[in-house]
Structure 1
Amino acid sequence: MPLPPLVEPIAALSDEERTRTARHARLHRLGEIGQRRIAAAHVAVVGAGGLGSPVVLALAAAGVGTLTIIDDDVVDLSNLQRQVMHRLSDVGAPKTDSAVRVAGELSATRVLPVRERLTPDNGARLLAGADLVVDGSDEFSSREAVASACESLGVPLVWGTVQEFAGQVTVFWSRPPEPGVATRLSDLYAPGSEAPACSAVGVFGPLCLQVGALMAGEALKLVAGVGEPLLGRVLLIDALASTQREIALRPARAAAAAARPATTDAPVDTVPEVDEPDDRAVLDVREADEVAVAAFPGALHVPLAAVLAEPTAIEGPVVVVCQVGARARVAARALRAAGVEAWVLAGGMDAWTRRHAASAPAGAAS
């Protein structure tokens, strides 16, 4: 069911803006009043890179009233393969400068550039006043800071990620109106999760546009109160197989709180971790080139995208491994949702290699 709109509509659109957004006004479920809500909205976008670029373009084109763009980075030549808001002439310039320019060339959207890195200390301050936040950051530490600030402010967080050929999109909201159910980043990823940087494993450029467009769409739906947002659902995208599927996202924190004594406040992770697979089968969800460098002994190799496309094809029980643990956690959640018993190898191949190197006898060959 649609949730109530986030904002009250402005009184009227200008003649120019009414003409520019006429195709929105003709949409049955959005209409002219929905467009006036969009014009009243203040959306904060964290990150002006691979995901933030298409988000800014789409939201400015849609006529969002105010966009706060938070990014402390400058444009690098290697960004241009996927960060479509920037141009060759922007290399070396702040990414927020591109956001101000392109928004001004598209609409009357007011852009507030913030050249700061969002942290746990400044997150609530930087996001204050926004009706909704879109997170396009690329490090888990930043994502956790954004999510924490949104939880404290009670505003919805449209969240997405891309890695290699796989993408995810969802909505987190700690205090949604009825009939929404509260979900948080910690329901999907354990605190302190990590993922390889795209500079290490790569990212398919067009996938950034696809995921960014979906994120912008979720933001507009929430602002206008139309459609069914991805609250309590995670959309999984496999660009290689050209498929999309979704898995349910349950509020693990609330469910676990009901099941454990009230005297404990230990963090809950719905995907258990193990340091060693023991007698269980091992599923390696890394890409072929990673496995060629360092294979886990005896593991079945099925790349993450293939696991997400058909999790029921995997026989459990199984311990899932990737390089540092983040992809394994995504795969394990999908497997468990499909009824396959699964664990995550704590810390991935990196941590497992360190553990075994530390336990090797002195003088053993490396």
Structure 2
Amino acid sequence: MSEKSIWKPFWSFHIQSTEHWIGEMAKKGYTLSRFQPKLSRFIFTEEASSHETFSISFDRSRQHPLPKALEVDDWEVVNKQGKWAVYGNPKQKEEVKTSIVRDNLESRNSKIAMFWWIYFIYITFSIALQVGLLLPLYLSSESVTVTRVDSPMWIFTYIMFAGQIVVTLIGIYSVITLKKESRRLSEENTQSQLLVDFEEKQTDLSGERLNKFKFGWMYAPDKLESWLEEKEKSGWHLTNVHKGGFKFRFEKSDTKLYAYNVLFEGRADSNAHAFHREAGWERVYVSGSSWTQWSVWRQAYSDETEKLKINDDRESKQRAAIRVAKIYTLMFAPLILIFGFNFFSFMLPNVLEQGYFSISEIERFNTTVYPLVMFIFLINILRAWAYYFRVRGQ
């Protein structure tokens, strides 16, 4: 009985297409006998397969339990290796009534995406630091001499530079692919099919409309909640939030009472969203990021009913608020240090020595912009911490 080994790189980033591919191999007379997830290698045996539909799961516990409902629906484990398992079903896909849970898989993909984003932040920080150190030399009116020293060790520099480019390209591909995969898995989930983005809903709007821009609301989400609720009370009903989260579209309507909740979730959690939906909340916006996701929810109420909150637990609200403050501090503080180092070490002394109008236009531009950028970053950090202290004081 002959075997056929196939190498399939990045297969775990395309779970559905991999499942379809295994099914196509089965139709050609090849049965999956074993696979090596870490090596991206699948080994098939040339024999008729007893399964028509396949599903791949990821389980951190390595147990791969098969619930009774799945057994009744004729699912069985075809092959398992470590945290990965391939399930098979003898029925056609259209006849299968149950599906394998993907929660652990989505969590794993989110963590991989987060790793790559941290890598990109590190690369950006490194480039910004180098540019920040070299830019004053480039803008300096004094001549600068650069000497290149010949050395056989340069080959290692070139190799490392080429390797970094390759790793960065792999990272870009991974982030883009994982984002698409996350969308596909969400669409596959029957619960997630109910989570239709508010911005994608087509509504026949015939009344008076109003567009408002709200920048930086993520540093003070509680103020956004109050602002949206006041808009509803004044007769402006929110109908759309632009994809970037900065443009809010309203339509003139009757005065309504809506409770708005803005949530910072750390990473995407489709199960939590399904739970909020079942509790009667309507999702009107969700950010595109899968590991620092913001979402906006609302629920109508009346004078006779109590205004609800998605989360009434004080400690969990404080934990979410402190995470917001810490994340934006970690994002902006290094940039403030880089800009501040360049401004106070090179730009400001040059201005004090030569005079503002005696330096070049690009130097005047940088001398003006750098303090402004530092001020904006600092304000954002302070707003995030002010939000935390407001939540703690409630």
**TM category, shorter:** under 0.3
Q: Tell which has more relative contact order, 1 or 2 (C-alpha 8 A, sep 6+).
A: 1
Task: Normalising by structure 2, report the TM-score.
Answer: 0.23
Rg comparison, structure with higher value = 2
Task: Normalising by structure 1, report the TM-score.
Answer: 0.24
